[in-house]
Structure 1
């Protein structure tokens, strides 16, 4: 099986995001500068040198905007200000300037599909049926029997419709009832959202990660969603614990009108050189949507794929997933991640009982070597496993709703460990407890250990910068091979680089046609013997064609 990409051989400086490594910061859990137990923007500023030393290209900040925090910032009450718990707009400007001084691009999360019910837009919209913003949100009358307008479901459980006694109508919410969906069919809503984006562009941010970018529009006719008849047809990562997976959300999300809005959005971005967008796409046909949203150079720059955030890490699954992305994306561009603020950390989800440090290095070597850009979630550079959080300590409304079959998202959001005693906050108690098993993995200790995951990440990303094939080379799986090792080539100009990654507990040998020699990639013991890649368990090898 082989797949050839359509990667151009050279890039303008404005295309810095192609092949970039982006460090995701969940500010609430990164570093607390004022001792209130919650991470903040000044805390990010204090740790920017640490991030720059990793060798990443950019940071992505999860939401820090004014919010009642029912969904921890993904319920925005003011798009253009910083919530006081995170600091001030002046603090953000200071952080932005320091990041850019250190050579780090700054990408911020934007949640456009919905707002908080505390947003002034919604407060006005719900006040009557004839105010200036009466149709800025999705309102609908009840059926004759009083039930919701259709069968649409909320991702957080139950109906996607909430009755409002002021208007005596239902409003749409794809998430919590306190997160009403905006009505993008209204051009005034689109204009307002683009004004928000313009505000941050003028402030100097380098890009946007767009939350649930395929959920901006809904079917204006409010038709029922069809039912999923086979479990195999359900969304990646969905299961019987959440009834959301029982429907094809054909009419609720991913509507054709979204394309035209993304073109408007891109036209705005193109007025600001070197800016970028990453669209988060969750859909049963996500690969097609990724292609639709990134092709042609007139919509999103990158599509953030969930496909490697699944529980399956078999070689067959990974090969099929990457091959499918490459085959369907065309001239679009993917953005891969193994962990984020919504899923079980990869060392636990994929690694299981594997040696933590070895598995972390091998899996990250795979991530950093794929064709596309990649996101490194805070703590991955330490090899942190999923944090253990007792039910009584849960904060995540999603986890509380679906406990105990689904433990929620708090385990991947526990605070960073900076020192042997945690070092996240100087006073009081952190908003989520630190897992005691994380303490020995702290950044200070790992910085002193040349064999640690942290030191490996620094060394590998430094070496990666010297390998143009890994940043923007063509991608091809080893033809005719379907074994347990993941073996592919990256090619640019006259450089052909072979990559072999072994995520299993047994050593593997893979013959390669032609003459190859091993490269001294940081920290791996894989070798080349008789034109074969010899890869120990939970290890990798990089070789140059000669």
Structure 2
């Protein structure tokens, strides 16, 4: 069969039951979840031993941040071997055991794939940097210096400074959107794409259920290396960088989010379509946020889901959240969002939205809101416990981003401290206690430990479990349509509908009482029935209006 004949072959699609559509995914950061061997670093065996926690929570899948071989300059997001487990986390057999246990518990397993860049110790890069004419010379993004020896353009690294690093062997610069030890792969070079797809095939053959694609919009760069336009120091940082980081001072027109990335996304989808019931969720780090989520997931031939940083903002006002939803719904098409309120890259939800003393009612509102949005959801480990951001002193910081940007930006260590399993256990039950954890367990997290919340039926942990069980009983919340009510300074309200089920979801995103007049069609008796199922708080009907206490939540059935 020649090339033209192969192009005419229509591949047979594997079945896909769409389990991911409306699914709830629990993110596990392996270094900090559970330490199975007492060396102070979380591992695959520790995760396997604690998987029942995720199963009891009621989620559909777990997402594992990277556990591949790595020098750990960026804690696994700098991969030196895409097909093996780093010894600090265990072995491939340990991963197989984790996969088997998860499937036994009814959990899908999604693993991180870091495609836009590798470690500078990856064999591909070691070969690429040797000369300008070796077999992998074009596998990374290399460029000559300007006549005065300076970098080829003004592109900046997310982690600070120029995005170009000089290499004395090739006498050229190489591109790194993150650390200098994370050189960017050259996606304009077809063998690179083929090698990465083949690597993904390895994990699919092993039985994983999907991939979270790290920084997927960073895969391509402008081949002409044009300068990014400047915008000056912003009053607030864009969603991907704080205002104190000069990365936020550019409009990133040319160093990421290039149109060619959608062609690669289609290649990924063709691969996934050959494996039954698998999925992808892409991370989109871009000022365009939800618009790019829609673009990367629309059409049925791209990613299944994607998330951006728009709801990882400190702004949780009703007007802001309304705007995020409105922008997405306006362009969504067939696209599908995976909403995240927290993850391993940003300040913990409790502190970011609630400040130094987060109101308990706010911590209950947050998951109720998240699980009501049209799309899927990602819950970061510890948010179901209401963990506040941990204070990590400078001398104990591990995150290179925080070390470089201290003190205006303290990095990501505060959201990555060990999971508190036992209030009175060594290091809060993170491990056997033989060695201190890689980041200190925060003493304040003792009050939020899993064992304490298990013993308290009114705890936030039990509230999450109840919400997740309750949501499953309402198809409108899992896969229904969404229609926003008019914008309000304090209240966010929208309708979800599926078949005969029509629900109102309303939230007071403020510390002050609020009133929402009902439209005439709902003002009559029986037209709106609040759901008394343990999911409402501080809200109810008062004649022709809805009244909310601070952080009140109301779900109601609409006639």
**TM superposition score category, shorter chain reference:** over 0.9
- Of the candidates 391, 395, 402, which is equivalent to residue 394 of structure 2? 391
Aligned counterparts of 1:502 and 1:446: Cα–Cα separation in 2:
26
Partner of 2:124: 121
Q: Which has the higher contact order (CA 8 A, sep 6+)?
A: 1
Partner of 2:508: 502
Partner of 2:152: 149
SS state at 1:420 partner: coil
Partner of 2:175: 172
Partner of 2:410: 407
Q: 2:319, 2:487 within 8 Å by CA — same for their partners in 1? A: no
- Of the candidates 461, 470, 480, which is equivalent to residue 454 of structure 1? 461
TM-aligned CA deviation for residue 149 of structure 1: 1.0
SS state at 2:550 partner: coil
Aligned counterparts of 1:205 and 1:282: Cα–Cα separation in 2:
25
Q: Which moved more, 1:352-361 or 1:266-275?
A: 352-361
Matched ranges for 1:307-346 at <5 A: 307-346=310-349
Q: 1:354, 1:505 within 8 Å by CA — same for their partners in 2? A: no
Partner of 1:81: 84
- Of the candidates 499, 512, 517, which is equivalent to residue 529 of structure 2? 517
Instruction: Output the TM-score relative to the length of structure 1.
Output: 0.95
Residues 1:482 and 2:494 are matched in the alignment:
no
* 1:508-528 CA-partner distances (Å, limit 9, x unpaired): 232334211111233533333
* 1:163-215 CA-partner distances (Å, limit 9, x unpaired): 11111111111111100000011100000000011011111111111011011
TM-aligned CA deviation for residue 531 of structure 1: 5.1
TM-aligned CA deviation for residue 110 of structure 1: 0.5
* 1:89-142 CA-partner distances (Å, limit 9, x unpaired): 100011011101111111111100000001010011111111111110011111
Q: 1:463, 1:522 within 8 Å by CA — same for their partners in 2? A: no
Count matched residues: 534
Aligned counterparts of 1:233 and 1:520: Cα–Cα separation in 2:
41
Matched ranges for 1:517-536 at <5 A: 517-525=529-537, 526-530=539-543, 532-536=545-549
SS state at 1:350 partner: helix
Aligned counterparts of 2:318 and 2:458: Cα–Cα separation in 1:
26
Matched ranges for 1:195-344 at <5 A: 195-229=198-232, 231=234, 235-236=238-239, 238-344=241-347
Partner of 1:543: 556
* 1:487-521 CA-partner distances (Å, limit 9, x unpaired): 11110000111111123222323233421111123
- Structure 1 residues 523 and 264, CA gap change in structure 2 (3 angstroms): closer
Aligned counterparts of 1:104 and 1:36: Cα–Cα separation in 2:
27
Q: Which moved more, 1:519-528 or 1:533-542?
A: 519-528
Aligned counterparts of 2:35 and 2:243: Cα–Cα separation in 1:
38
Aligned counterparts of 2:230 and 2:489: Cα–Cα separation in 1:
37
Q: 1:37, 1:428 within 8 Å by CA — same for their partners in 2? A: yes
Aligned counterparts of 1:130 and 1:246: Cα–Cα separation in 2:
37
Q: Over aligned residue pairs, what C-alpha RMSD do you find?
A: 1.5
Q: Which moved more, 1:320-329 or 1:185-194?
A: 320-329
Q: 2:36, 2:45 within 8 Å by CA — same for their partners in 1? A: yes
Aligned counterparts of 2:52 and 2:543: Cα–Cα separation in 1:
43
Partner of 2:22: 19
Partner of 1:188: 191
Name structure 2 gaps, 5 residues minimum.
1-14
TM-aligned CA deviation for residue 483 of structure 1: 3.7
Q: 1:488, 1:498 within 8 Å by CA — same for their partners in 2? A: yes
TM-aligned CA deviation for residue 378 of structure 1: 0.2
Q: 2:290, 2:324 within 8 Å by CA — same for their partners in 1? A: no
TM-aligned CA deviation for residue 323 of structure 1: 0.7
* 1:37-74 CA-partner distances (Å, limit 9, x unpaired): 10001111011111100011110001111000000000
Aligned counterparts of 1:18 and 1:531: Cα–Cα separation in 2:
36
TM-aligned CA deviation for residue 289 of structure 1: 2.2
Instruction: Output the TM-score relative to the length of structure 2.
Output: 0.93
Aligned counterparts of 2:518 and 2:155: Cα–Cα separation in 1:
52
- Of the candidates 451, 474, 480, which is equivalent to residue 444 of structure 1? 451
TM-aligned CA deviation for residue 223 of structure 1: 1.4
Name structure 1 gaps, 5 residues minimum.
1-11
- Structure 1 residues 464 and 288, CA gap change in structure 2 (3 angstroms): closer
Q: Which moved more, 1:145-154 or 1:181-190?
A: 145-154
* 1:405-427 CA-partner distances (Å, limit 9, x unpaired): 00110000011000013000112
Matched ranges for 1:352-371 at <5 A: 352-353=355-356, 355-371=358-374
Aligned counterparts of 2:413 and 2:533: Cα–Cα separation in 1:
35
Q: 1:370, 1:470 within 8 Å by CA — same for their partners in 2? A: yes
